[in-house]
C-alpha cells in the first residue's frame, strides 16, 4: 500500500544556511506538544526544506487556492487485496479503511477544480503525488510518523468522494470524503497526538503542505497562510 515513513528532524535552535529566516522550525517547542501552536513553520526533509501550514482540529486551514475544514472521520475493517506485499502490516489481508469528511471552500472569484479528475472504476488506485495524506504517529518512538496516501475509488468508502466533483463556484464549498487504508491497529491512532490530515496545494508544490491536526482543538489565535 502507499505508506511513507518519515523521521522528523528536530532543530536545537542553531543557525543553518538551510533555515529560511521567515519561519521558525516545526521542531521548536512552540510547535511541539503540549503547546502545539498554529501557524507556519519549516522542516528539513530528504527533498529539502518544506513549509508547513499547521492548524488545529476545529480550525479552518487557509491554503493558497482553497480553504479546508475536517468535519468528522470513520474507520471500518477492510480486506487488502495486495496484502502479501506487506504481510506484517496487513496480516492475512486485514486492514482498516479510514475516511475523513472534509469541506473545501473556494474563496476566489473563479470556479475552482479541487483535486485531480478521476475515472470511475471498480479498482482502487493511488496518484504518484497524492493531494492528501493521513499522517499517524508510530508508537515505537517520539518524533516519528507514517503517512498513508489518499486512495481513489476505495471500496466500501462513504461518498461522495472529495475528488472528481465538478468545479466549486466562487465563494462556495463542497463536502466529500478522503479515504486511506492502514494497518488494522493503526486506525485507533487517528485523533492521537501527531495525527493529522496533510493537504497539498493544487499546483502540487512539494515544498509546501497544509496540516490539520486531528488531535487538538482550535486555539483562539490562528495564523493563516497568505500564499506561497
Report pLDDT for 167.
94
pLDDT given at position 32: 84
Question: In which band, very low, low, confident or very high, does the pLDDT at 141 lie, cut at 50, 70 and 90?
Answer: low
pLDDT at position 18 over 60 = no
**What are the cell numbers at 9?**
528532524
48-55, strands of its sheet edge to edge? 3-7, 144-149, 132-137, 196-199, 208-213, 48-55, 39-45
Distance, in Å, from the CA atom of 138 to the CA atom of 140, rounded to the nearest integer, reads 5
Which listed CATH number (1.20.950.20, 2.40.30.10, 3.40.50.720, 2.60.40.1240) goes with 3-213?
2.60.40.1240
Q: What is the CA radius of gyration of the chain?
A: 17
pLDDT digits (tens, 9 = 90+) for 102-131: 999 999 999 999 976 665 555 555 556 788
pLDDT digits (tens, 9 = 90+) for 165-221: 999 999 999 999 999 999 999 999 999 988 999 999 998 888 999 999 999 875 444
| 65 burial via Cβ count (<10 Å: 0-12, 13-18, 19+) | middle
Q: Are the C-beta atoms of residues 61 and 68 closer than 8 Å to each other? A: yes
DSSP category for residue 166: P
pLDDT category of residue 228 using cuts at 50, 70 and 90: very low
Q: How far is it, in rounded angstroms, from Cα 14 to Cα 123?
A: 49
- pLDDT tier at 76, thresholds 50, 70, 90: very high
Amino acid at each position: 500500500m502507499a505508506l511513507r515513513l518519515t523521521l522528523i528532524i528536530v532543530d536545537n535552535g542553531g543557525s543553518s544556511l538551510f533555515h529560511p529566516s521567515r519561519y521558525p522550525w516545526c521542531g521548536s517547542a512552540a510547535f511541539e506538544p503540549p503547546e502545539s501552536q498554529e501557524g507556519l513553520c519549516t522542516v528539513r526533509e530528504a527533498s529539502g526544506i518544506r513549509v508547513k501550514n499547521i492548524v488545529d482540529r476545529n480550525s479552518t486551514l487557509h491554503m493558497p487556492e482553497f480553504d479546508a475544514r475536517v468535519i468528522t472521520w470513520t474507520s471500518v475493517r477492510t480486506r487488502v487485496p495486495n496484502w502479501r506485499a506487506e504481510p506484517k502490516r496487513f496480516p492475512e489481508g486485514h486492514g482498516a479503511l479510514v475516511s475523513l469528511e472534509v469541506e473545501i471552500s473556494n474563496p476566489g472569484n473563479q470556479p475552482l477544480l479541487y483535486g485531480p479528475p478521476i475515472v470511475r472504476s471498480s479498482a482502487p488506485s493511488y496518484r504518484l503525488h497524492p493531494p492528501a495524506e493521513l499522517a499517524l504517529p508510530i508508537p515505537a518512538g517520539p518524533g516519528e510518523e507514517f503517512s498513508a496516501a489518499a486512495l481513489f475509488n476505495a471500496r466500501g468508502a462513504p461518498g461522495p468522494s472529495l475528488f472528481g466533483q465538478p468545479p466549486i463556484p466562487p465563494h462556495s464549498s463542497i463536502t466529500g470524503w478522503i479515504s486511506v487504508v492502514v494497518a488494522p491497529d493503526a486506525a485507533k491512532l487517528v485523533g492521537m497526538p501527531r495525527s493529522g490530515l496533510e493537504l497539498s496545494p493544487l499546483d502540487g508544490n512539494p515544498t509546501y503542505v497544509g496540516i490539520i491536526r486531528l488531535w487538538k482543538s482550535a486555539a483562539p489565535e490562528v495564523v493563516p497562510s497568505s500564499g506561497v
